[in-house]
Amino acid sequence: MKKAFQSGINLFDNAEAYAKGQSETIMGECIQRGLLENVWTRGDLVITTKLFFGTIPGVNNRGLSRKHVVEGTISSLKRLQLEYVDIIYAHRPDPTVPMEEIVRAFNHVIDRGYAFYWGTSEWSAAQISDACGIADRLGLIRPCVEQPEYNLFARTRVESEYEHLYHSNGLGLTTWSPLASGILSGKYSGKVVPEGSRFSIANYQFLVTDKFGPNAWQVDAADELVAIAKELDCTSAQLALAWCLKNPRVSSVILGATSVSQLVENLGALRIVPRLTQELLERIENIGGGRGKPAFPTAHLQSIRERVIPELQNFPEQTHF
């Protein structure tokens, strides 16, 4: 976290479900250590966490009921050793709870000072619109950000389903899985599983079944992208991250580095973003856009650039977390 912060990263994401709360505990210890060592102030950091899955079994310990949203937030804050988080997410939609209750619950958390903003993760556009409509009717705070999966192989929501929300709601995105579970890093080339990789862990065998089975085309596409990465003198992972950052709808790309060296490599993607020309984007599109997933037409990408970039230029500076 210290290396990330010193490299310009200020957003650190977590969730109650990650390692059944242990991830929040570890991050909380790191935050406090950074405060003691004057690495950062609390105001420097944007800390986010997510609620839904809970940390222990029990019908009241998961979901988006007002009870779990409030109690889950308090528990997360204790593990993080914080008085508040900057953003609290609904980690998944909950069809068993009325949307009005969900909106009121997250507003209660904000009113109590436990969070500044709330957002959603893996919600449909219709669900987000419903929540925003209820918030407007009740004079409450809307969800302001969504955390969807986004990479070359998972694109529908970011590039089409949410399109109207960017205009009507000013929706921001903190996207996850930019490397498609590691496939776009190139480490699984030829469907070989390196020792110590995610695919070698028993709990992740469902990914092996999927990525080496019905979606084996993704491994082949990742192999083809290696040539473009070599032209840009970068790694496959850096190319995949830069591709995500190139979309102006993406507010932040969430990294899942497991070592300082991997973090440093990932940050090298920043130098690749301005080098992704229209010609290169079209070549990437031809490799990954049309195999089993809806394509993101380069003409559509260009129209977004023409519409959004002039708007961004009105701001004094543009920051990537």
DSSP string over 140-202: -PPP-EE--B-BTTB-HIIIIITHHHHHHT--EEEEB-TTTTTGGGTTTGGG---TTSGGGSG
The values of phi and psi at residue 29, to 5°, are -65, -40
The burial class, CB within 10 Å (0-12 / 13-18 / 19+), for 88 is buried
Tell me the β-bridge partners of 253.
175
Q: Radius of gyration over alpha carbons of the chain, in Å?
A: 20
Both structure tokens of 136: 């407007």
d(CA 271, CA 217): 28
* Catalytic residue check, 18: yes
Among 18, 84, 166, 204, the active-site one is 18
Active site positions, annotated? 18
